[in-house]
A and B are shown apart, each in its own frame.
Chain A
Amino acid sequence: DTGVSQNPRHKITKRGQNVTFRCDPISEHNRLYWYRQTLGQGPEFLTYFQNEAQLEKSRLLSDRFSAERPKGSFSTLEIQRTEQGDSAMYLCASSASTEQFFGPGTRLTVL
């Protein structure tokens, strides 16, 4: 059973560096989502793809953040010029309908 996978699981970086995360959704799911979760809070929506089209972006997704899903399969989330406030768990989810299934997340620490 292959669920949603995310890599890396942990990333420590210095402020000002760029980082990129990868998400591989469940294979038959055409919808893919990125969320961010900070300690003691629920996940907050960042962006959503249907196949390769990015259909919705949250106000949380500043211009330092970019996401792609070039062939409608895996997706990448890049953060440029990281800030300490970017430290969080970045979660990817996929769905074929309304129910969304989450990956294990990538924990980012910005020093």
Chain B
Amino acid sequence: QKEVEQDPGPLSVPEGAIVSLNCTYSNSAFQYFMWYRQYSRKGPELLMYTYSSGNKEDGRFTAQVDKSSKYISLFIRDSQPSDSATYLCAMVDTGRRALTFGSGTRLQVQP
């Protein structure tokens, strides 16, 4: 079993929809949580970074962490075709520096 599970998709939504992307994890030592966006054949781009349980909002993006359930989410409001990409969740535990990634969810926003 992988430490971080993420549905690979693809997830196809119409433009303007609210998108929900999720990851579950098994390692309770994970304390820092990040979401990256990766366009095809490019490096991952950091979107959101959270530490505590709860919500964090940045523009059209909201990151949600529920440590008791070991579940994190990324919501995208008013989705745009330019949001079409693979979204990767990543986590760090307190004893290390390395990120542990999910396998990524491919999102397609249809115009």
Which of A55, A89, A99 is in CB contact (< 8 Å) with B46? Answer: A99
A35 to B88, CA, bound (A): 14
Q: Is A33 an interface residue (CB 8 A)?
A: yes
0/1 per residue, A2-23, Cβ < 8 Å to B?
A: 0010100000000000000000
Q: Is the CB of B97 within 8 A of A48?
A: yes
Q: Are B43 and A91 in contact (CB under 8 A)?
A: yes
- Residues of chain B contacted by A93 (CB below 8 angstroms): 99
Interface size on A, residues (CB 8 A): 29
Q: Please, how many angstroms separate the alpha-carbon atoms of A91 and B100 in the complex?
A: 14
Question: Interface residue count for B (Cβ, 8 Å)?
Answer: 25
For B103, list chain A residues within 8 Å (CB): 40-42
Residues in chain A near residue B102, CB distance under 8 A: 42
Query: Whose C-beta in chain A lies nearest to the C-beta of B92?
Result: A98
Q: Once the chains bind, are A41 and B104 in contact (CB under 8 Å)?
A: yes
Interface residues of A (CB under 8 A from B): 4, 6, 31, 33, 35, 40-45, 48, 50, 55-56, 58, 89, 91, 93, 95, 98-105, 107
B-side residues, CB < 8 A to A, are 4, 6, 8, 32, 34, 36, 41-46, 49, 88, 90, 92, 96-104
Listed from nearest, the 5 A-B pairs whose CB atoms lie closest are A42-B101, A45-B98, A102-B43, A104-B43, A102-B44
